[in-house]
Amino acid sequence: MQFRTLRWATIWLPVGFIVVLELVKNFVLEPLFGQWVAHLITFGAVGFGAGILSFVVFRAVDQAESRLRRQNRDLAALNDISRVVSGSLELEAILARALEKVLDVLETEAGEIYLLDEASQELVFKVHRGLFPQVFQEISRFPVDEGFPGLVAVTGEAIVVSDLAADPRFKRQAVVARGFRVMASVPLRAKDRVIGVMNVADRSKVYTAEQVTLLAAIGNQIGVAVENAGLHSQVQHQASYLNALIESSGNAIITTDLEGRVLSWNRGAELIYGWGKDEAIGQIIPMVPDHLREEAYRWMDQLVQAGKPKYNIETVRSRKDGELIPVMVTVSPIRDTSVKVVSLLGISTDMRDKKRLEQELLRQQRALAVLEERERLARELHDSLGQILGYVNTQTQAARELLSRGQTAAVDTHLKRLAEVAQDAHADVREYILSLQTSAASEEGLLPALEGYLQRFSQNSGIQPELIVADELADVEFRPGVKTQVIRIVQEALTNVRKHASAEHVWITFAVTGHETRATIADDGCGFDPAHIAARDGRHFGLRIMRERAEEFGGSIQVLSKPHEGTKVIVAIPLRKE
């Protein structure tokens, strides 16, 4: 604005001056003094006016240059301060170097910085530079709103005092005793929040308004640097805490690049896999055995493409000594700031103890299932063979009575019936023995045990069995107790086929439907009326036994039959997938 005014003044003032001068010369000077004297007076006036104009113009230019030099000096000082505070993230180093630069720029004798403690709401002394450091630390903590530092922290405005001794707000008399007279205090700001105060003091210097403005600007820069240093300290603390968590974890926590090269390897990985950190870093997934490497690379490609973790994958990994161990692995992609997948994080849990516990639990379940099966067989033997033996005893006594009467024909009829009953009892005993053998073989699996049983059943009965199993059952595993009960239900159904169906073929089918497995035993025999059999349930308890067994594992039994159309027994078995 000043230069714009000066520019127009240098144009119009000379023009106006010459016009006025001509008018005065023509109408005043020439009539009074004549033409030559008037010209001399005019020339003298022009020279005098030019001198005054030059003086004014050059004075304005000098002032402008002085302001520019001062502004450049201030900008250079701010740039220096910015370079100093950005050169480190250590708080003490930032404050010390910045304060030294402030004293150099202001050419003053002493300076200090206090930072706000949020918890106590006190300003705490951090650093001093310049003269008499012990004197300035006479008071190292100022409550907010007390003393110059507290007042600046509350108001957020700079304070300049030209006579410390006369100002009751100044609390450190030892500083006054040392001859310090002038002090300027400015806030340190970060995001419109006062986080500290900077004081500079001198024994003779008077701080100008421009210097206080510069000091306030420097305070803002230092405030931002202090906050950055605090954030850096928090990040370092969090990183140290996270690293401690990773190192103390019992799981193997491993990071790799996208080619599988190990980037980090924690203590858990050393314990589980056997390689030390220095051995593992740089290797390409050393814990993956050769026969699973192709699968591992496929997982890595899928993770990079989909960008989604794979959770709780049960697999096998190799230790340094070559031992293959069961582990559960979770693999996650790691992204950079551009959300690009740059590496992979894998967490492996050693499953050896869990597998040992599972095997021990399975052994105990099998042992319990065997005990329960023995008790059930004892009850069935009592119900079936007990009835047969009772019938044999009754028929034997009747035959003896008839023999004593000489009724040999009737005795022969009783003996033939006894022989048939004995043959049936013998077949039942063989069936029970075969069932026990099959139950013991069930530890190898339900289907292998049934295959062996059906082969022996065919040899003993002459009936042709066929086992049909759906492909979906490949990943289905039954609990030990369930396997035993299913085998016994199939055996009971086949026993009924042998005794009552007069069948030539029987089909045993296993299929997965919804949330259950269905076992169907179908024959081509004579069939029966289910209602009629239900009425005689007291004597024919096979169906009741099958239903009791199914109820023990949460299943159910359905019998479908018609006379001359064969019979179907359908067993519903709840699924448990691995």
Rounded distance, CA 308 to CA 301, Å?
A: 11
- Whether the pLDDT of residue 413 is over 90: the answer is no
Left, alpha or beta for 107 (phi > 0: left; psi -120 to 50: alpha)? left
Q: How far apart are alpha carbons 489 and 510 in whole angstroms?
A: 13
Q: Of all helices (H) and strands (E), which one includes residue 201?
A: strand 194-202
Tokens for 562, please give them: 């018609």
DSSP letter at 483 equals H
Backbone angles phi, psi at 307, to 5 degrees: 70, 20
Among the ranges given (45-59, 271-285, 371-385), the one the predictor scored with the smallest mean pLDDT? 371-385
Alpha helix (H) residue ranges in 107-208 = 133-136, 147-155, 173-177
Question: Residue 148 contacts by C-beta under 8 Å, 6 or more apart in sequence?
Answer: 159, 161, 169, 170, 183, 185, 197, 199
SS3 426: helix
Which pLDDT tens digit goes with each residue over 332-363? 998 888 888 889 999 999 988 887 887 777 77
Side-chain half-sphere exposure of 284, counting CA atoms within 13 A: 9
Q: Name which of 131, 331, 308, 356 is nearest 251 in CA terms.
A: 331
pLDDT, tens digit (0-9, with 9 covering 90-100), for 106-127: 889 999 999 998 888 899 999 9
Asked if residue 322 has pLDDT above 70, the reply is yes
Q: Are 199 and 176 in contact (CB under 8 A)?
A: no
Pair 392, 507: CB distance under 8 Å: no
Percent of the chain with pLDDT over 70: 81
Number of Cβ within 10 Å of residue 557's Cβ equals: 19
Q: In sequence order, which residues have a C-beta less than 8 Å from that of residue 348 and are 6 or more positions away?
A: 251, 252, 254, 269, 272, 287, 317, 327, 328, 329
Enter the DSSP assignment of 288.
S
HEC readout, 511-531: EEECCEEEEEEEECCCCCCHH
Average pLDDT over residues 440-453: 70
Best CA proximity match to 157, nearest among 198, 119, 185: 185
Q: Model pTM greater than 0.85? A: no
What's the number of CA atoms in the CB half-sphere (13 Å) around residue 433? 8
Q: According to the model, what pLDDT value does residue 199 have?
A: 92
Query: In terms of C-beta density within 10 A (0-12 exposed, 13-18 middle, 19 or more buried), how is residue 284 classed?
Result: middle
Beta strand ranges found along 336-418 (DSSP E): 341-350
Phi/psi-derived region of residue 562, left when phi > 0, alpha when psi is between -120 and 50, beta in every other case:
beta
- pLDDT bucket at 537, cuts 50 / 70 / 90: very low
Max avg pLDDT among 286-295, 435-444, 473-482: 286-295
Q: What fold, for 92-237? A: Beta-Lactamase (3.30.450)
Mean pLDDT confidence for 414-425: 71
Say which range, 185-199, 296-310, 311-325, 383-397, has the weakest mean pLDDT. Answer: 383-397
- Mean pLDDT in residue range 555-575: 90
User: What is the identity of the amino acid at 176?
Assistant: V
Q: Is the pLDDT of residue 202 over 90?
A: yes
CA nearest neighbour of 100 among 198, 234, 8: 198
- Strands, E, within 300-423: which ranges? 310-318, 324-335, 341-350
Could you tell me which residue, 5 or 519, shows the higher pLDDT? 519
Check residue 40 and give its pLDDT: 82
SS3 call for 90: coil
Q: What is the reported pLDDT for 515?
A: 82
> Distance between CA atoms of 529 and 139, rounded to whole angstroms?
106
| Among 342-346, 482-486, 563-567, the least confident range | 482-486
C-beta separation of 560 from 521 below 8 A: no
Binned at pLDDT 50, 70 and 90, residue 377 comes out as low
Instruction: Judge contact between 200 and 219, C-beta under 8 A.
Output: no
Query: Buried b / exposed e across 220-250, counting CB within 10 Å, b at 16+?
Result: ebbbbbbbbbeeeeeeeeeeeeeeeebeeee
pLDDT interval class at 538 (50, 70, 90): very low
Residue scoring higher pLDDT (555 or 79): 555
Neighbour tally for 309: CB within 10 Å: 13
Helix (H) or strand (E) run with residue 240 in it: helix 209-248
- Of the pLDDT bands very low, low, confident and very high (cuts 50, 70, 90), residue 270 is very high
CATH among 3.10.560.10, 3.20.20.100, 3.30.565.10, 3.40.50.720 for 356-574: 3.30.565.10
For residues 444-467, one letter each, b for 16 or more C-beta atoms within 10 angstroms of the residue's C-beta and e for the rest, the string is eebeebbbebbeebeeebebebeb
Q: Are 177 and 159 in contact (CB under 8 A)?
A: no
Span 244-262, mean pLDDT?
88
∠ CA 96-102-105, nearest 5°, is 145
CATH number belonging to domain 251-350? 3.30.450.20
pLDDT in tens, 133-148: 898 888 888 988 888 8
Q: How confident is the model at residue 230 (pLDDT cuts 50, 70, 90)?
A: confident
Question: In this model, does residue 472 exceed pLDDT 60?
Answer: yes
524 φ/ψ angles, rounded to the nearest 5 degrees: -105, 30
Question: How large a percentage of the chain has pLDDT more than 90?
Answer: 24
Please say if the pLDDT value at position 578 is more than 50.
no
For 24, 296, 505, the CA distances from 268, given in Å and listed in that order, are 105, 21, 60
Q: How far apart are CA 348 and CA 254, in angstroms?
A: 8
